[in-house]
């Protein structure tokens, strides 16, 4: 028998059947994979890493570019209403009254009360809503109007248990509620 054959036989019958032999074999395989990966990837850049901090602050705007503040400091334009139609404030007030509902109101009646004051998208979103789920009972103070553009306003309505935020749009001069958001206090 040759020496190589005896060494392979010893390795297979004795060493690889022990725990120590298996651990050594796994270690050889792991270090072999790591070594091969390092050979393939080439030398690393010592400047890359978490400890490489910039010496100066990183800027995204050139210091000589001028004012980087607000785009415009002018007041937002006043909402435009078609003659004879409801103003944003009136639309919001009527919508809030319909949204709050009254005792004994069915879900269908509740939806019908808001439909003429809502966009089609909002009407579809509220389709499965129940008036019993309205978390407020009455308006507690004056509504605040925040014009965004001539055809978009935000109305904040303080209620007894929180604040109702309405977004109204007027693509053709007729104001309709497009979004309803409830903020509990």
Residue range 147-168: mean pLDDT, rounded: 89
Q: Which residue has the tokens 């309803």?
A: 180
Give 76's DSSP letter.
P
Q: Which residue has the tokens 């925040």?
A: 146
What's the pLDDT tens digit per position in 165-177?
A: 999 999 888 899 9
Ranges of each domain in the chain: 3-41, 88-184
Q: Are strands 176-184 and 162-169 parallel, antiparallel or unpaired?
A: antiparallel
The CATH topology of domain 88-184 is Nuclear Transport Factor 2; Chain: A, (3.10.450)
Give 13's DSSP letter.
I
The alpha carbon torsion through 98, 100, 106, 107 (nearest 10 deg) reads: 80
Look at residue 24 in the predicted model and tell me its pLDDT. Answer: 82
What's the pLDDT tens digit per position in 64-100?
A: 666 656 565 677 778 878 888 888 999 999 998 888 8
């Amino acid at each position: 028998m040759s020496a190589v054959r005896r060494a392979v036989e010893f390795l297979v019958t004795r060493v690889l059947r022990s725990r120590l032999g298996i651990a050594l074999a796994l270690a050889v395989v792991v270090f072999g994979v790591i070594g091969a990966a390092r050979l393939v990837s080439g030398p690393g850049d010592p400047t890359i890493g978490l400890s490489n901090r910039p010496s100066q602050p990183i800027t995204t705007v050139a210091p000589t570019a001028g004012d980087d503040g607000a785009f415009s400091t002018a007041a937002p334009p006043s909402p435009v209403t078609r003659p004879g139609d409801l103003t944003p404030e009136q639309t919001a007030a009527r919508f809030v009254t319909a949204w709050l509902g009254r005792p004994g109101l069915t879900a269908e009646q509740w939806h019908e009360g808001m439909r003429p004051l809502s966009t089609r998208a909002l009407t579809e979103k509220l389709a499965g809503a129940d008036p019993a789920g309205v978390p407020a009972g009455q308006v507690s103070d004056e509504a605040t109007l925040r014009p965004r553009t001539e055809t978009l306003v935000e109305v904040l309505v303080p209620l007894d248990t929180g604040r109702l935020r309405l977004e109204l749009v007027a693509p053709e001069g007729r104001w309709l509620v497009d979004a309803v958001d409830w903020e509990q206090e």
